[in-house]
Structure formats: C-alpha cells, structure tokens
Amino acid sequence: MLTGICCKLNNVCWIKKGFTLIELLIYLAIVSSLLIMSIVFGQVFFQRNQIDVVASEINNAIHYARNMAMIHGVPVALNPIDPLQDWTKGMVLFIDNKEHHYTEKDKLLYQWQWKNQGIRIAWDGFRSNEYLVLASNLNQAACSGSFHLMIGQKDVGQLIINRLGHVQIQNKPTLNPSRDREGPETLDG
C-alpha cells in the first residue's frame, strides 16, 4: 500500500493513501480464481446430488413394488412410461399380465414421473429391457437386472436388483475417494 508521499496543494500537505494498480490486479486475479473454482465445484456437487436423488427414487420404487407384490399376493410389473421404452421419464407399477406391458385394462398401482435433467436411465434385465417383474413369493421372486444411470454416454451409476428385489448401487462417483474403496453401497433398509 502506498503511503507517506506528501503533496502540497494550497500550502497544505496531503498524504496519499491507497492501493497501487499492481495490488488491485493481484486482488482481482485471486478473487476471480476463487469464484471460478466455486462455480466448478458447485456444478459437480449439484450433478452428484441429482444422481443420488435418481438412485434413491428408483430404490424407493423397487421397494414399493416389492411390497405391493407381497400385499396383493400377485406378481407386479414395472414398465417405462414412455412408449419408446425410455425409463428416463418414469415408470408405472401394475398387476402383471401375460405380456408384461401396461394397458388401460390393467390395474395401475402407482406411477412415477421424473424430471432428471441430463441423467438418462436404462434397464438391463435378465428377461427383458422393457419390464421388471416382482413376484409375491420367494420361489419366483423378481427378474434380476440393473438400472444404468448415464450422463451423455458415461455410465455414472448402476443399481443392481437381485432376485429378491434388493438393490445395490455400484460405480457411484463420490466426493470422498476413501469411500470408493469400501465396496458397493447397499440401499436396502
């Protein structure tokens, strides 16, 4: 900081105080760098939060479907809402039929609609990529498979559903690298 220079104006001595141009430029560079870093980290946190929300919604839908199969005593099925078999927009839960596809004649149990910006959801099932069936007894149980969460072409998460309808999440990006070494996280309660 510049101080101590005396300037006489009208026989009065003024002391100049203030920042030099170099000091102001350094200050602006530091503040700009911090702002850019906070924006980048904010976007990363937001995207990871969206992935967590989608994974939690799918987990809750699977638990609800498994419980409805037990309560009603009949197999139930999950289908994507989209007629083009895109799971990203949501899914419907209904009492299963022979074709495993929801029609207006079937009893609708619940419908989920998602607004996940930029996250694509795909089902890769043992029997089919178009439906997921959960049975009311443990002998038939469920058809196993996995939901893939993707951003663009990058697979950012995978929810694996076993025959009993239990859900595990793998390949989940975390903020804490030490957490990745612990293995898959089970989302079952």
pLDDT reported for residue 188: 47
Spell out the residues 6+ positions from residue 171 whose beta carbon is closer than 8 angstroms to its own: 155, 156, 157, 158
Quote the CA–CA distance of 152 and 7 in Å, as a whole number. Answer: 64
| 75 contacts 96 by C-beta, under 8 angstroms | yes
For the chain of 189 residues, list the mean pLDDT of each consecutive stretch of 10. Answer: 56 71 93 94 87 89 90 90 87 90 89 84 85 78 81 86 80 46 45
Contact 100, 128 (CB under 8 A): yes
Residue 1 contacts residue 24 (beta carbons within 8 Å)? no
Q: How far is CA 168 from CA 15, 27, 28, 41, 186, in A?
A: 70, 48, 47, 27, 5
Tally of CA atoms within 13 A in the half-sphere of 9 that contains its CB: 6
Could you give the angle at the alpha carbon of 29 between the alpha carbons of 27 and 35, nearest 5°?
105
pTM attached to this predicted model? 0.71
Q: What is the pLDDT of residue 31?
A: 95
Output phi, psi for 93, to 5 deg. Answer: -115, 130
The predicted pLDDT at position 176 comes to 42
Cα–Cα distances in angstroms (integers) from residue 48 to residues 43, 53, 55, 119, 178, in the given order? 9, 9, 11, 11, 17
pLDDT at 182: 42
Give pLDDT, residue 17: 73
